[in-house]
């Protein structure tokens, strides 16, 4: 492990344009459940019902039950993994983070250049009138085990600005992410099973442009042939060690 951490730090230090690509795994140690895996949310909720646009129109309740589980430990705060990435950015050792996460924990940790390809929970739109809510305004209701309702028109169809199944990924963010991935001569892929396209194709772009790839994940995953360095471990444990090594140099 020590050797791998050293190698990762060397790769970061010698890169001109290192970027990170993160998935649900980086937030697992903050108490936010991942979708897949033994404790994954998909064991409890049917994704096609919980977060699909067509189902949301008729059964917004399914979404909100799912959302309650996602933020069950609401007040989830950034963990040492998020903070290590923010430290690297401040030192000029990380140019941007492309994330599949919707939990806003990178920004809370202090990262500034964050591309959220699946959107974020921050703003919530009433689908039946023009009212906009902040996620924080609604979480109190959720914690009481109630469904949030629009103050203005009474609708239950309050939809956060995240990408549901059946929706397109935000084109502008996707374009920027592709540009970052192509420009990167090193990408750290952290806590993602790489099973969901088009997101999973992002590290492939770095590779196609001769960039190097590091995979830091709790398990080895199924795409091992893609990577120059594979570190099997927890993001919150390993990233601070890598950042310490990079920064001490």
Chain residues binding ligand NAD by CB under 6 A are: 23-25, 27-29, 32, 34-37, 40, 100-103, 118, 191-193, 195-196, 217-219, 221, 234-236
Q: Known catalytic residues?
A: 118
Partner from Zn ion, ligand NAD, none binding residue 153, C-beta < 5-8 Å depending on class? Zn ion
Contacts of 13 (CB under 8 A, 6+ apart): 93, 246, 249
DSSP string, 169-215: PPHHHHHHHHHHHHH-SEEEEES----STTGGGHHHHHHHTT-EEEE
Please answer whether residues 195 and 36 qualify as being in contact, where contact means their C-beta atoms are separated by less than 8 angstroms: yes
Using alpha carbons, select from 22, 16, 20 the residue that is nearest to residue 185: 16
Tell me the window of 80-88, 146-154, 194-202, 218-226 that interacts with Zn ion (CB under 5 A). 146-154
Q: Is 132 in the site for Zn ion (CB under 5 A)?
A: no
150 binds Zn ion per the rule CB under 5 A: yes
Minimum CB distance to Zn ion, residue 130 (Å) = 8
Nearer to ligand NAD, 81 or 211 (CB): 81
- Minimal distance in Å, beta carbon 182 to ligand NAD? 21
Q: Kindly report the CA angle at 30 between 4 and 181, in degrees rounded to 5?
A: 55
What is the contact surface with Zn ion in residues (CB under 5 A)? 126, 128-129, 131, 150, 152-153, 155
């Amino acid at each position: 492990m020590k050797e791998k951490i050293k190698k990762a730090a060397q790769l970061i230090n010698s890169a001109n344009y290192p970027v990170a690509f993160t998935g649900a795994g980086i937030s697992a140690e903050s108490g936010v459940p991942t979708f897949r895996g033994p404790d994954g949310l998909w064991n409890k909720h049917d994704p096609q019902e919980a977060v699909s646009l067509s189902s949301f129109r008729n059964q917004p309740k399914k979404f909100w039950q799912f959302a309650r589980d996602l933020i069950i430990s609401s007040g989830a705060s950034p963990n040492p993994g998020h903070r290590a990435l923010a430290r690297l950015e401040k030192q000029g050792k990380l140019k941007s983070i492309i994330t599949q996460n919707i939990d806003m924990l990178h920004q809370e940790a202090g990262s500034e250049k964050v591309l959220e390809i699946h959107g974020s929970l921050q703003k919530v739109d009433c689908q039946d009138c023009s009212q906009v809510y902040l996620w924080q305004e609604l979480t109190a209701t959720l914690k009481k085990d109630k469904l949030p309702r629009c103050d203005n028109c009474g609708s239950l169809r309050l939809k956060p600005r995240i990408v549901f199944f059946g929706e397109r990924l935000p084109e502008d963010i996707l374009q920027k992410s592709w540009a970052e991935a192509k420009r990167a001569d090193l990408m750290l892929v952290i806590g993602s099973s790489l099973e969901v396209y088009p997101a999973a194709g992002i590290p492939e772009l770095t590779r196609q442009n001769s960039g190097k790839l590091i995979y830091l994940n709790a398990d080895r995953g199924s795409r091992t042939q893609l990577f120059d360095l594979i570190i099997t471990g927890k993001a919150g444990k390993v990233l601070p060690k890598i950042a310490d090594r990079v920064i001490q140099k």
